[in-house]
Amino acid sequence: MPDLPVWLLLHFLLAAAATQAARAYALRRRLLDQPGERRSHTVATPRGGGIAVVLSVLLAALWLAMLAAGKDRMLFGSFAIGLALVAGIGWWDDHRPLSPWLRLAVQAIAASILGWGLYQAGTGPWPALTALVMALVLVNVWNFMDGIDGIASSQAAIAASAYFWVLNGPWAALAASLLAACLGFLPFNFPKARIFLGDVGSGALGYTLAALLAVSLQTSSLAWPLLLLPLAVFLVDAGFTLISRMLAGERWWTPHVTHVYQQAAFRFGHVRVTGAYFLLGAVTLMLMLLLSRASLQSALMILPGCGLVLLALWLGARKGLKI
């Protein structure tokens, strides 16, 4: 594990500097998200700032791979390749919109590479398959939920903090690099966005969190349901919004503004909504920490209980917002 304060400062500064460079590049290339009926912002805003987070995490992964040996080196290499694929197709899409099915195909390849890396590391087929599924899920959840200022990067920072706490050695260092990179990017995206993550950033956040979750499931002493708690806020909003759109016969894969956080932002503003989601995420993080010694049986009740509370809040918000 590198010296933690130096490691955090390095990735914070790298992400901040790279975000500034990405903003200048986006303005020069006219890579702007325009306001519209399927957008939550009201002014044209540069996109693609998430390349800064990708750069920071990818450099961390490559450095840690060089320091690692054997199975860890292979797993870090698999993660780095998958991250480059997810970020690469997102970067391309930020420049020229692509078919959602092409993006999904590339994401599936990246998820398979992560699963293969875990399998080669000796985890067995089921953990590898779990990593593959979680990578596909979280890449798209973070893409769905990246719609207002600061929400995606702040939730990723909460989850990165959780996995830093439960992991050890080089994987804890990777979680720390993600946390620092999110904090380096956030001042450019919140409280008033000067640049958006773009698909390059939202997908990379989800993919990195999936890898950290997958390794945590294999190495942490915590009961596995607790490791899902820091992701629960996004999983509930994204998951149940997706289900509701499917049941309504809508084209669920197309952009929309029917998430609770999007509709709430129209009424209350981005800062308040991102702050509310941050508080909910912080509560799930604290629950994970406070209940870290809980047995598997207890954890199997805690996770659904937390999910039901979040679902009740989601349903109440939808009713109040008349979605």
Q: What is the DSSP letter of 34?
A: P
CA distances from 202 to 158, 175, 209, 243 (A): 15, 16, 11, 21
**143 in a known ligand binding site:** yes
Q: What is the DSSP letter of 230?
A: G
Beta strands, E only, 18-150: 32-33, 45-46
CA distances from 299 to 115, 175, 230 (A): 25, 23, 14
Angle (CA) 133-303-244 rounded to 5° is 60
- Cβ atoms 234, 142 nearer than 8 A: yes
Handedness of CA 303, 134, 218, 220 (dihedral sign): negative
Dist CA 177 CA 221 (whole Å): 22
Provide the residue type at 1 as one letter.
M
Dist CA 116 CA 140 (whole Å): 20
Pick out the residues of the known binding site. Answer: 143, 199
Pick out the residues of the known binding site for Mg(2+). Answer: 143, 199
